[in-house]
Structures are given as C-alpha cells and as structure tokens.
C-alpha cells in the first residue's frame, strides 16, 4: 500500500516536471552512459590551404552514436555545458584525438595541424593544462601540430582563468584558434590580450558573402585586421566556388567547408592521407554523417 503510494507520487512528480527539464535530465543520463560505453566518436573535416592548394589539417568534430542515429554536438554540447559534463567530454575528445594522431603518425602519415574544439568552461580549471601536457607526452606528439578552438562568445563570458590557462598551453607550444569569430561582439583590440594563432570567420558571414555587400566588407575587414595582428585566417562553412573565389581574392589563408570536404570518418581521413587526395565515391557514400 505504502509502496504503491510512493510510486504514484513519483509518477505525479514526473508528470509535473517541466518538459524541458525532464528532457535535459534524460539526455544528461544518456550522455553519461555514452561516455562510459564509448558511444562517442570523432569525425575529422579537412582544411585547405589556399596558397599551396593542399590539405593543411583537420578539425575534429564529435559525434554521438545512438543506435542508428548520429547526433550532432549542437544537440548535446549546450546541455553538457549547463550540467558541467562538458569538462569530461572535452577530456574524452582530447584523449581520442591525441590517440588518433599518434596512430596516423605511427603509420608515417602527416595530418598537418589538428584542431580540437574545447569549451571555455574547461579552461576554468587549471588542471586542464597538466592533463593536456601528460596526454601529449604519452602520445609523443609535437605540441605545435595541435590547435585548440574556443568560441568567441563563450570566452567573453569566462575571462579570468581562461586567459591564464591559454597562455600556459601556448607556452607549451600548442596553438589557439578563435572560433565563430564575428558573432561575439568582441572588440578587435581585445584579440591582442589572447595568444591566438588563428581566427575562424563564422559561417554566417560566409553564407551570403557574394550577395551581401555588408558581410563582404566585414569579411574583408576581419581578414586585414587579422593580417596586421599576424593571425592566420580560416573561413568556415565554405560551400561553393563563388565563396572560395571571394576568399582567395580577399587574401584568406585557409578554408573549411562542404566545398572542400564534409567531416569524414577517421578511416576515410587515413585513406586521404595515404592517397594524398579525397576518398573515392564509395568510401564517401559509406560515410553516414555528411555533416
């Protein structure tokens, strides 16, 4: 009797729980299990150097395999950030990517610079520096082939410790990229306070760069500003030849986007590195996530 009453109270509570909160609680639990059960996996999107016309590196992008579905980080990173689970995820990604790069190098393959997205929240704990240093030593990686990407908007909200952690990792010769640049309202002068090596122009500017004169001039201004600060510029979300043409003419250093390649599985990247070119149509269509 008492037991049944307890159960119905629990159910009642669940019913009254706000949908959003409930969904978040469920997702958080599932995400914790995903980390433990190794359902997270990395894809890698090739980056093109416009000067040499060659592959110059990859951006590691996280995927969550849930049964048949591959869930985009857009769906779960915000929740991971709210619940604090992001720190565990960022460490998982660091481990996974370092292990992958070690594997490629052991095969004699050269992936160029490999970029890892890291939440500004992970830069709030000083322990992240020794963690990264230890993993790097364990995998015998030269630090200057690893680049850490942090988004402009999140960084703005978490200034204090982040700045310290960033300089310490920079002192270890890792590189820094400011992601989604142009969306976070940061003053350009503010860039100088951080040890950035690269600036990534947000896709929203690139999308209509050929038809929107304002975005075209903002993009040109960002590129020339980065030049004068001696920061390399990469454009993200480049999908067509017209965008590429604009960026070449504007003096952009590198591009990334579906036009060059979608994110690929580690195996497809390996084939690319071995054959020095994109994987054939068979491999590309066997890749379930063309995002």
Question: Can you give the binding site for ligand C2E, defined by CB under 6 A?
Answer: 45, 61-62, 72-74, 77, 90, 93, 117-119, 149, 151, 179-180, 236-239, 257-258, 263, 291
Q: Does position 117 bind Mg ion by CB under 5 A?
A: yes
What is the SS3 assignment for the chain? CHHHHHHHHHHHHHHHCCHHHHHHHHHHHHHHHHHHCCCEEEEEEEEEECCCCEEEEEEEEEEEEECCEEECHHHHHHHHHHHCCHHHHHHHHHHHHHHHHHHHHHCCCCCCEEEEECCHHHHHCCHHHHHHHHHHHHCCCCHHHEEEEEEHHHHHHCCHHHHHHHHHHHHCCCEEEEEEECCCCCCHHHHHHCCCCEEEECHHHHHCCCCCHHHHHHHHHHHHHHHHCCCEEEECCCCCHHHHHHHHHHCCCEECCCCCCCCECHHHHHHHHHHCCCCCHHHHHHCCCCC
Q: Which range, of 118-126, 231-239, 242-250, 270-278, touches Mg ion by CB under 5 A?
A: 231-239
Choice between 257 and 279, CB closer to ligand C2E: 257
Please choose which of Mg ion, ligand C2E, none residue 62 contacts, taking the beta carbon within 5 to 8 angstroms, the exact cut-off set by kind: ligand C2E
**207 CB-near residues (< 8 Å, 6+ apart):** 215, 237
Q: Which of 76, 90, 92 is nearest to 23 (CA)?
A: 76
Q: Does position 152 bind Mg ion by CB under 5 A?
A: no
Measured CA to CA, the distance from residue 176 to residue 182 in angstroms comes to 16
> Whole-number minimum distance, CB 28 to ligand C2E, in Å?
16
> Whole-number minimum distance, CB 151 to ligand C2E, in Å?
6
Q: Does position 113 bind Mg ion by CB under 5 A?
A: no
Q: Which range, of 49-57, 177-185, 204-212, 247-255, touches Mg ion by CB under 5 A?
A: 177-185
Choice between 263 and 270, CB closer to ligand C2E: 263
> How many other CB atoms are found less than 10 A from the CB of residue 3?
7
Q: Which range, of 94-102, 111-119, 185-193, 253-261, touches Mg ion by CB under 5 A?
A: 111-119
> Whole-number minimum distance, CB 61 to Mg ion, in Å?
8
Residues 250 to 279 in contact with Mg ion, rule: CB under 5 A: none
Residues 179 to 198 in contact with Mg ion, rule: CB under 5 A: 179-180
Choice between 11 and 69, CB closer to ligand C2E: 69
> Whole-number minimum distance, CB 264 to ligand C2E, in Å?
11
> Whole-number minimum distance, CB 223 to ligand C2E, in Å?
18
Choice between 149 and 253, CB closer to Mg ion: 149
Which residues make beta-bridge pairs with 43? 61
Choice between 59 and 250, CB closer to ligand C2E: 59
Choice between 122 and 250, CB closer to ligand C2E: 122
Please choose which of ligand C2E, Mg ion, none residue 152 contacts, taking the beta carbon within 5 to 8 angstroms, the exact cut-off set by kind: none
Measured CA to CA, the distance from residue 260 to residue 249 in angstroms comes to 17
The residues binding Mg ion (CB under 5 A) are 117, 149, 179-180, 236
């Amino acid at each position: 009797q008492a037991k049944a009453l307890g159960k119905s109270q629990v159910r009642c509570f669940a019913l009254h729980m706000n949908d959003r909160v409930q969904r978040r609680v469920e997702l958080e639990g599932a995400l914790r299990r995903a980390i433990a059960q190794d359902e997270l996996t990395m894809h890698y999107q090739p980056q093109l150097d416009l000067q040499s016309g060659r592959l110059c590196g990859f951006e590691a992008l996280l995927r969550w395999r849930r049964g048949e579905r591959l869930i985009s980080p857009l769906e779960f990173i915000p929740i991971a950030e709210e619940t604090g689970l992001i720190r565990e995820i960022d460490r998982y990604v660091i481990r996974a990517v370092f292990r992958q790069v070690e594997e490629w190098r052991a095969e004699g393959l050269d992936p160029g610079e490999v970029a890892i997205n890291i939440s500004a929240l992970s830069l709030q704990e000083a322990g992240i520096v020794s963690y990264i240093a230890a993993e790097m030593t364990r995998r015998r990686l030269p630090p200057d082939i690893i680049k850490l990407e942090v988004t402009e908007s999140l960084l703005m909200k978490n200034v204090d410790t982040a700045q310290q952690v960033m300089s310490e990792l920079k002192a270890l010769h890792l590189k820094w990229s400011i992601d989604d640049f142009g969306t976070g309202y940061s003053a350009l002068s503010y860039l100088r306070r951080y040890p950035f090596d690269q600036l990534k122009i947000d896709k929203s500017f690139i999308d209509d760069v050929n038809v929107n004169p304002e975005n075209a001039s903002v993009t040109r201004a960002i590129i020339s500003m980065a030049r004068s600060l001696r920061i390399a510029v990469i454009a993200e979300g480049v999908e067509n030849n017209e965008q590429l043409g604009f960026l070449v003419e504007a003096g952009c250093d590198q591009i990334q986007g579906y036009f060059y390649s979608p994110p690929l599985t580690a195996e497809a990247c390996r084939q690319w590195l071995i054959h020095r070119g994109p994987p054939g149509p068979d491999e590309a269509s066997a890749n379930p996530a063309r995002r």
